[in-house]
Amino acid sequence: MAEEVVLMKGNEAIAHAAIRCGADGYFGYPITPQSEVLETLAELKPWETTGMVVLQAESEVAAINMVYGGAGSGKKVMTSSSSPGVSLKQEGISYLAGAELPCLIVNVMRGGPGLGTIQPSQADYFQTVKGGGHGDYKLIALAPASVQEMADFVALGFELAFKYRNPAIILADGVIGQMMEKVVLPAQKPRRTEAEVIEQCPWAATGKAKDRKPNIITSLELKPEAMEINNLRFQAKYREIEENEVRFEEINCEDAEYLIIAFGSMARIGQKAMELAREKGIKVGILRPITLWPFPTKAIAAYADKVKGILVTELNAGQMIEDVRLAVNGKVKVEHFGRLGGIVPDPDEIVTALEEKIIK
Amino acid sequence: MKEEIIIAGFGGQGVLSMGKILAYSGLMEGKEVTWMPAYGPEQRGGTANVTVIVSDDKISSPILSKYDAAIILNQPSLEKFESKVKPGGILIYDGYGIINPPTRKDIKVYRIDAMDAANEMNNAKAFNMIVLGGLLKLHPIVTLENVIKGLKKTLPERHHHLIPMNEEAIKKGMELIREV
């Protein structure tokens, strides 16, 4: 398959991109608003072309443990779900991080807590960047704001996951999953051969060779001294990721007196709010974290002395705002505007919040 | 050029597919497009709406406060979206679905009796294409040629024999639309 320009939903783009980047396996369980990922894969039947495995597991818990198995053998494997389903996966995600396994997880967030609604939300920010599962671990978290980024971040997520032997997650929401946009799909990359997997993943359980010790995939280490050494190794890796992998986008920030900080769908709506505010003569720029972890702390801190105020807009009650406040460390006013439970604000609401909470 | 459009009506009227065909036609013209449905546990007879943006430049928000054009196919949608048309913008409604017509004087209001025309054509499914024809007459966002290309892309091969009927419906809509 060559490069192709098409119109499709964000969820469909995830499925196409997974096949085209040479993924070996997808394991999932349907849930709105991301069911089109599994549906599209089933329709495309990649097992007949690239040999990619697609399996509807009996539950989200089973799916994440199938990912653990596939990743342990060095395969490029992934799962996707939406908020309640991702909660079910948390034990497996902690184990994947503890066993230092590369994989890709996709969360197309919906309103919570509990079963909540099926409409868009960003209330799983804390779950994604502050833990979710137990233990001191981090996920490389990518927040797409377009259907194109849904496609692009599949390959990027796998690349970073394998580079650092760490799970990566795409944190999207119902808006990005359900909307259709123009997307350029990359040309088909072949899946890696068994020999390439063995060469690129010397740590993986690929069959015991005579001349090396067995590779054991586990997160268990009963000796605390050894477990502390493992944890220190994880922490060193996390610092390296924080140093090298921060990604963010800035629009109209050069002359900005005020800043909107938002991720994913809210960054798109915030961008329109910025356009409307600029028509009124308000000099506002927008900073969009693309990686939620590692967070663009330094980039945001640099604005603390430059702008008069920062509005953080999220589809939650105030989660990323904590990381923004840590970044600016009290030097500038930071306020929050959010809608909850699946309600998505329109751009006017953000302009009003900017005027009332920040400018006054 | 940028057109921000809301299409709203009952589920089952072809609201989402009309938007999809419009978006695909825009893509055929090499434009940027966004199609954002208000999705939910909805069904035939419930309300459905979709925002379609066709633009020469990159599109910011898929969710809007105000629209250049509103296509309104039932009374609840009129009540929800009449106030959200930009001053100077257009509102198109189907006479069959609206009991209390729009009252704003700072927008251009058009009526299209698409439901009646579809019934005359003995083809209820032509309804949304008649309405689309009306919109394209007023705002030629995309050419008829590219709509046909869009239809070829969105319809499965087995339905391609229906394309001439759709073309006829679009032309019918272009004739029927009239200012109120």
| A/B interface, count of CB pairs below 8 Å | 74
Residues of chain A positioned with their CB less than 8 A from the CB of B23: 7, 180
Residue located via tokens 């671990």: A137
Report whether pLDDT(A30) > 90.
yes
What pLDDT is stored for residue B44 in this prediction?
Answer: 66
- pLDDT at residue number A231: 98
Q: Cβ distance A34 to A7 under 8 Å?
A: no
Residue of A35, A148, A182 to mutate when probing chain B, most B C-beta within 10 A: A182
Residue from A358, A347, A354, A303 nearest A329 by CA: A303
Nearest to A178 among B24, B37, B60 (CB): B37
Chain B: residue nearest A251 by CA?
A: B60
Whether residue A34 has pLDDT greater than 70 = yes
Of B32, B40, B60, Cβ closest to residue A119: B40
Q: Do A181 and B34 touch (CB under 8 A)?
A: yes
Residue of A nearest to B31 (CA): A182
Hey, what CATH class is A249-359 in? alpha beta
Shortest CB distance from A346 goes to which of B27, B33, B63?
B63
B34 vs A119: CB contact, 8 Å cut-off?
Answer: no
Percent of chain A at pLDDT > 70 equals 100
* Contact: B61, A181; criterion CB under 8 Å: no
DSSP secondary structure code for residue A356 in this structure? I
Under the banding of pLDDT at 50, 70 and 90, the label for residue B40 is confident
Q: Rounded distance, CA B160 to CA B149, Å?
A: 11
* Beta carbons of A179 and B36 less than 8 Å apart: yes
Which of B110, B111, B150, B114 lies closest to B131 in space, CA to CA?
B114
Q: How far is B120 from chain A (nearest CA, A)?
A: 34
Would you give the distance in Å from CA A250 to the centre of its chain?
A: 19
Q: What is the pLDDT of residues A243-260, one digit of tens each?
A: 999 999 999 999 999 999
Which of these ranges, A44-48, A268-272, B92-96, has the smallest mean pLDDT?
A: B92-96
B166: Cα separation from own chain's centroid: 14
- Closest by Cα among A179, A201, A183 to A192: A201
A209-236 confidence digits (pLDDT tens): 888 899 999 999 999 999 999 999 999 9
Average pLDDT, chain B: 93
pLDDT-wise least confident of A136-140, A334-338, B151-155: B151-155
Give residue ranges of B with CB < 8 Å to any A CB.
20, 23-24, 27, 32-37, 39-41, 59-66, 153
Higher pLDDT, A60 or B153: A60
Residue A26 near residue A52, CB atoms below 8 Å: yes
The secondary structure of chain B, three-state, reads CEEEEEEEEECCCCHHHHHHHHHHHHHHCCCEEEEEECCCCCCCCCEEEEEEEEECCCCCCCCCCCEEEEEECCHHHHHHHHHHEEEEEEEEEECCCCCCCCCCCCCEEEEECHHHHHHHCCCHHHHHHHHHHHHHHHCCCCCHHHHHHHHHHHCCHHHHHHHHHHHHHHHHHHHHCEEC
Q: Which residues of A touch B86 (CB under 8 A)?
A: none
What's at B118, amino acid-wise? A
Strand-pair category, A140-142 with A103-109: unpaired
CATH superfamily of B2-179: Pyruvate-ferredoxin oxidoreductase, PFOR, domain III (3.40.920.10)
Yes or no, beta carbons of A181 and B35 under 8 Å apart:
yes
Q: What is the pLDDT of residue A208?
A: 82
In this prediction, residue A1 has a pLDDT band, given cuts at 50, 70 and 90, of confident
Q: Domain A5-195 falls in which CATH fold?
A: Rossmann fold (3.40.50)
pLDDT exceeds 70 at position B42 = no
Q: What is the ipTM of this complex?
A: 0.93
Q: If you average pLDDT over residues B68-96, what whole number do you get?
A: 96
DSSP alpha helix (H) spans, chain A: 10-20, 35-44, 60-72, 83-88, 90-98, 125-129, 147-164, 174-178, 194-200, 224-244, 264-279, 297-301, 320-328, 347-353
Mean pLDDT, residues A171-193 taken together: 97
Per-residue confidence (pLDDT) for residue B152, from 0 to 100 = 87
**Residue B176 amino acid letter:** L
pLDDT of amino acid A360 = 87
Across the interface, of B27, B35, B60, the residue whose CB is closest to A268 is B60
- Which of A188-197, B24-33, B153-162 has the weakest average pLDDT? B153-162
Considering only CB atoms, A181 lies closest to which of B20, B33, B39, namely B33
A89 pLDDT exceeds 70? Answer: yes
* Residue A201: band (very low, low, confident or very high) from pLDDT cuts 50, 70, 90: very high
Query: Which residues from chain A sit within 8 angstroms of residue B32, using beta carbons?
Result: 181-182
CB contact under 8 A, B60 and A175: no
Q: What is the pLDDT of residue A63?
A: 98
Domain ranges (residues) in chain A: 5-195, 249-359
